[in-house]
Structure 1
Amino acid sequence: MLDSDMLESRSGTIKIANVSYETLQAFVDYLYTAETCLDDQMAGELLALGEKYQVKNLKPYCEKFFISNLNWDKSLKLFAFANKHNCEQLRSASLDVIMNHMPDLTQNDYYDELVQNNPLLLLEIYEKSMFKGIATIDNF
């Protein structure tokens, strides 16, 4: 932005809208040190910023954080988030957790939201579960 003939290069400033001060501070910290303090909300916001501004290693950095803190309660929400942001490792890890808890799927706090906002992801989960069941039967 600062090297090309864009408004940012002419003014010498970059305006980043819809980002909290804390997130912007963490983003700048990461740019200078390649690390920052994360929690679930911060990791999500930074991952999106990293994707938007093409900060090469920020997206995998945040993805690793999510995977290291992945559990059943977070799995559906993170599966949807990973799908939205093309995070293949997080998507795969979340789906593995979901497959291990299929009997409890409808009890997950995020289930109803997924039904309303992204039923195709639920269809993918159910299809994967069915094929996993078929593979298990074929192994007998």
Structure 2
Amino acid sequence: MHCTVGVVRNRVEGPKHVTIAIPPSDMGQNLKFLLETETGCDILFRIGDETFKAHKLILAARSPVFRAQFFGLVGNPDMDEVKLEDIEPSIFKAMLSFIYSDTLPDTQQSTGSMSISTSTNIIQHLLAAADRFGLDRLKQLCEAKLCEEVNVDTVATTLSLADQHRCSQLKAICLKFASTNLGAVMQTEGFKYVEETCPLLLSELLETVASAAVDERSGEGGLTRKRSGSSIIGLDLAAAEVHMVVDDDPNVRRVRRRA
């Protein structure tokens, strides 16, 4: 007797590989829609002659300053109007746009055919506003943008701003750029402002000039020529047509152009 044994295998097919296209997040667009249409707004900001409506919960979620103002221990959740000073309406509007969309406003679009220096000026003011209201991401975005737009006309004011608002990377870039182009930078209105109001910052700029000179000489083989005058800073300042003036206060140094 012959027997035949057969084996039956069950085949289970898995799902075929299918790629589903996931659209990008539109949360920012939806939130901006609420802002633009003023849907559900419960707070009004008055800045000069202009007013802006917003949502306290959204502002509180994004800014620790607004959170403390509306819901902190000494905050007032029932307030319905806030008057702000020391900020331009256009800058506050741009800041609100970021709060709702989490993207840096297009300053080129908002300024139209205005010059790049005007665009830079907007970003400078926006950085100051971001620091004031605790918007760290906006502050970093502005810092990065200003690093890209450093030029002779704006570097001095940007340097002062970076020092005031503790933007270390932006400050370092401005110091390096200004020291490399010191002659041209000294002719700008921004340099005159720094010269009159930020003597310690100006000293840092001069130290950067001196350090760059030392590095350049070291790169040429480490050989230095003996010159009259013992200070490298004095030599570099002479080349830049400026000199140091020491006040009665040893901690304060001012820099003036040569007569």
Range moving further from structure 2, 37-46 or 6-15: 6-15
Q: Distance in 1 between matches of 2:125 and 2:185?
A: 26
Matched, 1:70 2:138: no
If asked which structure has higher relative contact order (CA below 8 Å, sep 6+), I would say: 1
Task: Name 2:106's counterpart in structure 1.
Answer: 37
Matched, 1:17 2:85: yes
Q: Distance in 1 between matches of 2:200 and 2:136?
A: 30
Is the Cα contact below 8 Å between 2:143 and 2:167 reproduced in 1?
A: yes
| SS of alignment partner, residue 189 of structure 2 | coil
Report the count of equivalent residues.
Answer: 140
Match of 2:162 among 60, 63, 82: 82
Task: Name 1:27's counterpart in structure 2.
Answer: 95
CA RMSD of aligned residues (A): 1.9
Task: Name 1:3's counterpart in structure 2.
Answer: 71
What are the residue-to-residue correspondences of 1:112-123 with 2, within 5 Å? 112-123=192-203
Match of 1:48 among 90, 114, 128: 128
Letter in 1 for 2:180: N
1:24–1:103 CA distance, 2 compared to 1 (3 A): closer
Letter in 1 for 2:106: C
1:20–1:8 CA distance, 2 compared to 1 (3 A): farther
Range moving further from structure 2, 3-12 or 47-56: 3-12
1:109–1:94 CA distance, 2 compared to 1 (3 A): same
Q: Distance in 1 between matches of 2:126 and 2:185?
A: 28
Stretches of structure 2 lacking an aligned partner (at least 5 in a row): 1-67, 108-118, 222-259
| SS of alignment partner, residue 217 of structure 2 | helix
Stretches of structure 1 lacking an aligned partner (at least 5 in a row): none
TM-score, normalised to structure 2, is 0.49
Is the Cα contact below 8 Å between 2:152 and 2:185 reproduced in 1?
A: no
TM-score, normalised to structure 1, is 0.86
Is the Cα contact below 8 Å between 2:71 and 2:77 reproduced in 1?
A: yes
Give the superposition deviation at 1:15: 4.0
Q: Distance in 1 between matches of 2:99 and 2:155?
A: 29
Is the Cα contact below 8 Å between 1:80 and 1:121 reproduced in 2?
A: yes
Task: Name 1:129's counterpart in structure 2.
Answer: 209
Q: Distance in 1 between matches of 2:142 and 2:169?
A: 11
Q: Specify which structure has the higher proportion of helix.
A: 1
Letter in 2 for 1:97: F
Q: Can you list the C-alpha shifts for 1:80-136, whole angstroms capped at 9, x where unaligned?
A: 111111111211111121122134343233222222111221111111111221222
| SS of alignment partner, residue 154 of structure 2 | helix
Structure number with bigger Rg: 2
Q: Specify which structure has the higher proportion of strand.
A: 2
| SS of alignment partner, residue 57 of structure 1 | helix
Match of 1:98 among 178, 181, 192: 178
Is the Cα contact below 8 Å between 2:180 and 2:209 reproduced in 1?
A: no
